[in-house]
């Protein structure tokens, strides 16, 4: 980039953020962000009982402040800063949150918790304001992520934590009503706090990253609101954010078409509680099962032609734990046919050791084929009687080209909340998300998420 | 590095850290760390009234927890996490804290605050334990810093915040008594949280970085103590810390001669409250002033031959604020001769606009000379009567080769606390630092720092 083009990235972005009004955001974008919120509600409540969450909660409770904000899916209330950490961990721990496929950013687990905590803490935050803050925060995270992707991710950053800190700062700053200079400082302080390395994958540290990112952004915005200063050019300066965390910088991704092009509209949701590379396979297995009313006992062989990455990332033949099950295309195909779904309950320790699942996964053959795209799978099932059923998945369910329907998203959220919140309350929470722009008090959502 | 040599860096380091006992640390190292602590006490109290501190305190107070830990130089007490942030900001805001010259890490502002807060929070932390935790934390920060310096710093990281997060995790983990596996996780969680870009220099964001680093490390250790897991190889893994934040990795700097070579013994302290490149000049001016009882009125000309960096970094001819004064070798030379010192009071807005200082700095000529080293200055003063006085400074006071004496350090700390703490209490705090290894309760130090 020429130095002129890069001279005022932080300021240009801040100027847009403080001038954008809710009525300027296209309805389709608002709709997608309300779907992001709905998906977050499901995963945050669904993950709230996980040991990762419990351990973090035990660690922070002794020094937490007043009961300002609800922990989703639990009884505890903590100060806004600590609530943000715990809700961020809950919402990422199932690996079932939203995904911006261009950058692999899972925005909601970093950005919703601080925004919802602030909506409880500040007086009179309407659903319109709340949705607007989320929209600008997510939009910012995706744009700054685009500017450094893929190099930033390739070298080792867990981009959800890094871009998430900046997005969370923007969402919190928007609710706090910061002016342009303060928004510049919030961006600077948010960009100063980078959390998350990919080496954390497979440990509790992974869920910590978006939780901490939410805190980073919230603290950045609260400091900026008190005129705690930062650089005016933290994103673009020579020793600022983009140049330090990446060898690639494309600042047009941040500043071009602000207000007309919306990355937030490209968010997607996983229909299945495992790595996205197996989704086309699961989609194909469920389609064949439902279309032909297949039962496991009548199946002789399952053949999958898939992108080579599938075996590389999820080639575990005999998973020993629920977590390993998420990295087994064999197990995923088996449970998809047996149960017709692949939610968190299909990836527990019990699920991978169930005799029916073990028997069926041994009938699965996987053929890597570089002619098959990542979003595709070619599934052929041979029955005991020799008949064959086949489906070619071109765009798996949950992709940008083939998004989950509103009904499917609501069913996913309800399924995740089942057994944790009373059904009536879970339904009410879903209804608030569906109609967030007409909710007078955004904090009502937090109240509904109390166990 | 071969993959074998780099395979167990995090574990080797953790194994040393949890096995080292206070009696294994050489007396000279303990002595240096007690000097680091003394210098920290001075700068933390001295900086405590700064607007940067006040704004941060206003921002965090509404969500702070119980009054667990003292804010140095003030009346407030906050929970350990928020106290760590504020004390970290106070102790860096004057740019007068300790420096590891090999890496430019200012360790104490990141590492002392969480350690002192924990010493108040945990029962019965002796001075011996406290000093030991500080020693291991500082040693770790310098070693991980060495492993990636200079590339890590050159690309833009404020290494005090980044290495500081890891060092703070170790100090806190040591006081918490973590076992080897937990120490590995504390290192991993600390290394996951990187704070500070050099673009923050010149704004309040700079002091925020060590404050946040202290919090990062404290949170890492508290989580690890609850068995919140991380990677076992966060420092050395391909997508772990060193490979992500630097293009240079020398893991021998971390693991070689653990327990026999001590980087913590190389810490230094600034005698003057400004950029280190001007220190040889100030040293020379003060020496000539005192040796020849010079008075400003009798001086016709001051000629400085200095390393070229001096003019590059501190060439402001007419500083308009105290902060600009720190970047003016002209002002620094003038006040050194007029007042015989160059502490914070010589770099205020008033000090740079004092007529005597303005008159004398106009008599200063600076000649860059690449034959002069950074630690050197050649100062020649011509009197009104034509006589000349000259001194060649080879190793400026405060360098590793010419360290500040214990008396000079105590005088510096006393000077910084003057007018903030009662003199008797300041003297008592200095005495505790001097004799920290014989202090039964480390928390006594925190109590003494209450305004």
**Is the Cβ–Cβ distance between B197 and B59 less than 8 Å?**
no
Residues A117 and B326: their CA atoms lie apart, in Å, by 42
Mean pLDDT of B323-329: 91
The per-residue pLDDT of chain B, averaged, comes to: 96
CA nearest neighbour of A206 among A309, A95, A62: A95
- Residue B376 is classified by DSSP as -
Average pLDDT, chain A: 96
Q: Is the pLDDT of residue B365 over 90?
A: yes
- Reported as a single tens digit per residue, the pLDDT across B9-43 is 999 999 999 999 999 999 999 999 999 999 999 99
- Distance between A407 CA and the closest CA of chain B, angstroms: 36
Q: Given CA atoms A229, A231, A233, A236 in this order, what sign does their dihedral have? A: negative
On chain B, the residues whose CB falls within 8 A of the CB of A208 are: 189, 192, 223, 228
Q: What is the pLDDT of residue B1?
A: 39
For chain A, the straight-line distance linking the first and the last C-alpha, in angstroms and rounded, comes to 51
Domains of chain A: 9-269+410-448 (1.10.4100.10), 276-393 (3.30.1330.120)
DSSP result, A48-66: TTSHHHHHHHHHHGGG-BS
Q: Please, are residues B72 and B211 in contact by the beta-carbon 8 Å criterion?
A: no
Backbone angles phi, psi at B123, to 5 degrees: -75, 140
A230 with B204: Cβ contact below 8 A: yes
* pLDDT tens digits for range A5-22: 578 999 999 999 999 999
Averaged over A236-244, what is the pLDDT? 97
How confident is the model at residue B3, as a pLDDT? 43
The stretch A98-115 carries a mean pLDDT of 97
Burial A36-68 (b: 16+ CB within 10 A, else e): bbbbbbbbbbbbbebebbbbbbebbeebbbeeb
Q: What is the pLDDT of residue B171?
A: 99
Q: Is the predicted pLDDT of residue B364 greater than 90, yes or no?
A: yes
| The predicted structure's pLDDT at residue B5 | 54
The count of other CB atoms within 10 Å of the CB of residue A110 is: 38
Q: Which of B239, B241, B246, B249 to mutate to test the interface with A (most CBs of A within 10 A)?
A: B239
Which residues make Cβ contacts (< 8 Å) with residue B301, sequence separation at least 6?
Answer: B363, B365, B381, B382
Per residue in A400-431, pLDDT tens?
999 999 999 999 999 999 999 999 999 999 99
Q: Which tens digit of pLDDT belongs to each residue from B290-306?
A: 999 999 999 999 999 99
Q: Which residues contact B172 (CB under 8 A, 6 or more apart)?
A: B114, B115, B118, B133, B137, B186, B217, B218, B220, B221, B222
Cβ of B222 within 8 Å of Cβ of A79? The answer is: no
Per-residue pLDDT reduced to its tens digit, B203-217: 999 999 999 999 999
Assess contact for A85 and A56: CB atoms under 8 A.
Answer: yes
- Whether the pLDDT of residue B2 is over 50: the answer is no
Closest residue in B to A223 (Cα) is: B59
- To which H or E segment does residue B390 belong? strand B388-393
Q: Which residue reads 């497979």 in tokens? A: A202
Structure-block tokens of residue B269: 């302290």
Decide: residue B323, CB within 10 A, 0-12 exposed, 13-18 middle, 19+ buried: middle
User: CB under 8 Å to B191, separation ≥6 — which residues?
Assistant: A197, B144, B165, B166, B169, B234, B235, B240, B241
With bands split at pLDDT 50, 70 and 90, how would you rate the model's confidence at B109?
A: very high
| Contact assignment for B65 to A68 by CB distance below 8 Å | no
* Tens-place pLDDT, residues B422-435: 999 999 999 999 99
- In 3-state terms chain A splits into helix, strand, coil percentages (rounded to 5) of 60, 10, 30
Q: Does the structure show a pLDDT above 80 at B224?
A: yes
Residue A1 confidence (pLDDT) above 60 = no
Q: Which residues of B touch A220 (CB under 8 A)?
A: none
**Helix residue ranges, H only, B178-233:** 180-192, 205-225
Task: Say if residue A330's pLDDT is above 50.
Answer: yes
Give the pLDDT confidence of A206-226 residue by residue, as tens digits: 999 999 999 999 999 999 999
Residue whose entry in the numeric block shows the structure tokens 């955001």: A25
Q: Tell whether the model's pLDDT for residue B276 goes beyond 90.
A: no
Instruction: Tell me the per-residue pLDDT of A36-65, one tens digit each, with 9 for 90 and over.
Output: 999 999 999 999 999 999 999 999 999 999
- What is the pTM (predicted TM-score) of this model? 0.94
pLDDT band at A276 (very low <50, low <70, confident <90, very high): confident
pLDDT at A313: 87
Q: What is the CA radius of gyration of chain A?
A: 22
Residue A5 has a pLDDT of: 54
In the sheet with B388-393, reading across from the earlier edge strand, the strands are: B364-368, B299-306, B377-383, B388-393
pLDDT at B202: 86
Q: Which of A61, A77, A166, A205 to mutate to test binding with chain B, by most B CBs within 10 Å of its CB?
A: A205
Q: Is it the case that residue B6 has pLDDT exceeding 80?
A: no
Q: Which residue of A has its CA nearest to B205?
A: A230
* Confidence band of B313 (pLDDT split at 50, 70, 90): confident
Using a pLDDT cut of 90, give the percent of chain B over it. 95
Please tell me the distance from the alpha carbon of residue A144 to that of residue B43, in angstroms, as a whole number.
37
**Cα-based torsion angle of the residue sequence B337, B338, B343, B344 in order, rounded to the nearest 10 degrees:** -140
Cβ–Cβ under 8 Å, residues B188 and B154: no
Of B195, B223, B238, the CB nearest to A59: B223
């Amino acid at each position: 980039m020429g130095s002129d083009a890069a001279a005022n990235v932080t300021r240009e972005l801040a100027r847009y953020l403080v001038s954008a009004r809710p009525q300027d955001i296209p309805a389709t974008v608002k709709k997608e962000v309300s779907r992001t919120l709905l998906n977050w509600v499901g995963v945050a409540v669904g993950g709230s009982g996980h040991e990762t969450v419990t351990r973090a909660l035990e660690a922070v409770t002794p020094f937490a402040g007043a009961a300002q904000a609800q922990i989703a899916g639990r009884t505890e209330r903590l100060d806004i800063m600590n609530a943000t950490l715990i809700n961020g961990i809950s919402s990422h721990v199932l690996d079932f949150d939203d995904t911006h496929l261009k950058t692999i950013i899972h925005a909601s687990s970093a950005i919703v918790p601080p925004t919802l905590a602030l909506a409880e803490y500040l007086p009179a935050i309407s659903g319109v304001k709340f949705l607007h803050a989320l929209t600008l925060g997510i939009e910012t995270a995706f744009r700054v992520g685009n500017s450094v992707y893929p190099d930033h991710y390739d070298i080792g950053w867990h981009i959800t934590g890094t871009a998430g800190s900046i997005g969370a700062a923007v969402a919190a700053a928007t609710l706090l009503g910061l002016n342009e200079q303060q928004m510049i400082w919030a961006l600077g302080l948010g960009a100063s706090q980078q959390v998350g390395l990919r080496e954390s994958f497979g440990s509790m540290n992974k869920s910590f990253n978006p939780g901490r990112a939410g805190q980073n952004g919230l603290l950045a915005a609260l400091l900026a609101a008190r005129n705690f200063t930062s650089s005016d050019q933290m994103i673009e300066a020579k020793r600022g954010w983009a140049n330090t965390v990446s060898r690639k910088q494309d600042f047009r991704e941040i500043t071009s078409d602000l207000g007309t092009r919306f990355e937030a509209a490209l968010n997607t949701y996983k229909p299945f509680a495992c790595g996205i590379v197996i989704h086309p396979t699961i989609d194909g297995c469920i389609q064949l099962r439902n279309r032909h009313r297949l039962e496991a006992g009548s199946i002789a062989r399952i053949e999958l032609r898939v992108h080579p990455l599938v075996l590389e990332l999820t080639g575990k033949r005999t998973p020993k734990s629920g977590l390993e099950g998420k990295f087994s295309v064999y197990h995923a195909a088996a449970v998809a046919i047996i149960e017709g779904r692949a939610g968190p309950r299909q990836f527990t320790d019990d699920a991978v050791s169930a005799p029916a699942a073990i028997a069926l996964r041994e009938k699965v053959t996987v053929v890597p084929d570089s002619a098959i795209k990542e979003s595709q799978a070619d599934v052929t099932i041979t029955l005991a009687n020799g008949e064959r059923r086949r489906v070619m998945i071109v765009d798996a369910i949950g992709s940008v080209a083939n998004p989950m329907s509103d009904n499917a998203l609501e069913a996913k959220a309800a399924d995740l909340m089942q057994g944790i919140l009373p059904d009536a309350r879970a339904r009410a929470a879903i209804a608030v998300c569906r109609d967030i722009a007409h909710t007078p008090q955004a904090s009502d959502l937090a109240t509904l998420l109390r166990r």
